[in-house]
Structure 1
């Protein structure tokens, strides 16, 4: 039995997870990030303790895995930066170990979600695989030879911050041209607003947003594109163009067996998938050689909890 914690900007969600990756119990409390890191860490410890106390099985939890929306040092468990929580140089593992007498393993939330997708949903059939989470930003979980990798400093899976072009706005990280400024939900919303507000372009999305471009969201844009709205189609095709550029760079670097698309935008399903696969094959080098399979990730809201627990299991093996 393992404990998985999915630390998000809204909730601290935790679960007891068995050896097969099945969540047998959940607990959750609001994150309330404005209170600062110490208060949030206290609540993480509280969620872990609640799960330990409520466990009625014969198996006791043997380790804790935590997925965070930022970077964790793989050696110390410190969090040098987590912009979504406004954390800088937070000794997360050390603070938790003062209260929790279990091994604790911490990594980026997309990395642990990748563990869930590869080990549970895909049943461990792939040893070289990548999960791309297309949401507010773009996260990635990378598996090489059956092991999740984040690099020497813990920042090696920040695929959303690889640079794929020059954009009309700068990423939160300070660079211009990051993939997530082209192919995330934030990116397509910003592009749609830019084209309408600054360039006078027309779109049915405005009516869908009750006449206020501040109300535009990714779901509206995809819905309008599926209905043939020209600006929405242009926006989605732009997303796909740069996503395919990023993915072909992944193929050239890692040659994975499969690339899974997760996150909120993956809810568009085959509409997005078919466009991405077509664009990827257009960019393919050495046309006769095989290329990674591309598919929509299977797990949704539970991927963070189950993946964090399975991440701990992998490290205890």
Structure 2
């Protein structure tokens, strides 16, 4: 049977899992397949897994390679457009890998690769909460802080394709140590990891905090959800933690606003699930912290809507912009 519709293969590569999806021309994911990735595997093994899960997604959709337009991949990495080398992928320990050569051995399709946060932002502007805009930023607030920039419906990553590392913009000179080795990065203050670290320090000083009670008196159980629940219930320690957190976040976003003036800013990741508990104070503080915020105005800060599917959709349609 001849299939006239066009389909796209998108692969979202994470540090611990790979998820591939088949996406139609209307941005619907019609089939999806996932696999766990084992850190420490060789490049050959990991690329084999990337291809294998992608092939399984095609099969699950009842399609063949001939029905697929291209293979788009979003992964935590930087690709040098001049050499096509994957310059750096911290989660796998990869440096200067000829990634396209490895991938072409497995799937005979045009291949497009983008940084994972950029790809997720692109997915949101295609089919998510930023679909009515053409210029947007996104921050993903998870274990770290990822970031993506879309300008005029295209990914912006700088002249050398190594930019848009929004989590590593400087928030504070000589501040808290970041996982990247620098000090004072936005990630060191606005990741879920940073919030939990601050909560651990706070409950040691105030052990009567509801946070510790909700965590069953075990600091290791403290997470963003518990902190937010304690704040909703009126715990002063949790309220102070979120006040500080949203202040840091609004201050970081304010710098991005004055540089890029996007139409909208999206928040993704686990912390964003708190909704208005985070969004309301960030939007209020952003107007105060941003240069000429009252006169010029500031873009709205909203929640991303696609979750993990954003990376699949963004990856699938990379051929349209690369």
TM range (shorter): over 0.9
Cα deviation, residue 72, structure 1: 2.8
The structure 1 residue matched to 2:162, chosen from 150, 155, 162, is 155
Partner of 2:242: 236
Encode CA deviations 1:187-238: one digit per residue, 9 max, x unaligned: 10111112334x4564211122221212211111111112121111111111
The separation in 1 between residues aligned to 2:134 and 2:249, in whole angstroms, is 23
The separation in 1 between residues aligned to 2:172 and 2:238, in whole angstroms, is 21
The structure 1 residue matched to 2:100, chosen from 93, 98, 107, is 93
Instruction: Tell me: CA distance 1:235–1:166, structure 2 relative to 1, closer, same or farther (3 Å).
Output: farther
TM normalised by structure 1 equals 0.92
The structure 2 residue matched to 1:175, chosen from 172, 178, 182, is 182
The separation in 2 between residues aligned to 1:113 and 1:51, in whole angstroms, is 19
Report if aligned partners of 2:258, 2:290 keep a CA contact under 8 Å in 1.
no
Partner of 1:221: 227
The separation in 2 between residues aligned to 1:92 and 1:40, in whole angstroms, is 11
The structure 2 residue matched to 1:36, chosen from 20, 32, 42, is 42
Partner of 1:290: 297
The separation in 2 between residues aligned to 1:195 and 1:122, in whole angstroms, is 35
Instruction: Tell me: CA distance 1:200–1:293, structure 2 relative to 1, closer, same or farther (3 Å).
Output: closer
The separation in 2 between residues aligned to 1:219 and 1:140, in whole angstroms, is 22
Partner of 1:141: 148
The separation in 2 between residues aligned to 1:123 and 1:129, in whole angstroms, is 7
Larger deviation: 165-174 or 95-104? 165-174
Report if aligned partners of 1:137, 1:184 keep a CA contact under 8 Å in 2.
yes
Partner of 2:30: 24
Encode CA deviations 1:63-90: one digit per residue, 9 max, x unaligned: 1111112323344443222222333333
May I ask how many residue pairs the two structures share in their alignment? 314
Larger deviation: 163-172 or 140-149? 163-172
Instruction: Tell me: CA distance 1:48–1:238, structure 2 relative to 1, closer, same or farther (3 Å).
Output: same
TM normalised by structure 2 equals 0.91
Instruction: Tell me: CA distance 1:25–1:103, structure 2 relative to 1, closer, same or farther (3 Å).
Output: same
The structure 2 residue matched to 1:65, chosen from 59, 67, 72, is 72
The structure 1 residue matched to 2:280, chosen from 261, 274, 294, is 274
Report if aligned partners of 1:244, 1:279 keep a CA contact under 8 Å in 2.
yes
RMSD: 2.0
Partner of 1:196: 203
Q: Which runs of 5+ in 1 are unaligned?
A: none
The separation in 1 between residues aligned to 2:239 and 2:147, in whole angstroms, is 25
The separation in 2 between residues aligned to 1:34 and 1:162, in whole angstroms, is 29
Report if aligned partners of 2:130, 2:264 keep a CA contact under 8 Å in 1.
no
The separation in 1 between residues aligned to 2:230 and 2:165, in whole angstroms, is 30
Partner of 1:264: 270
List aligned pairs for 1:2-21, cutoff 5 A.
2-21=8-27
Instruction: Tell me: CA distance 1:279–1:254, structure 2 relative to 1, closer, same or farther (3 Å).
Output: same
Larger deviation: 268-277 or 49-58? 49-58
Cα deviation, residue 279, structure 1: 0.7
The structure 2 residue matched to 1:130, chosen from 137, 144, 157, is 137
Report if aligned partners of 1:10, 1:30 keep a CA contact under 8 Å in 2.
yes
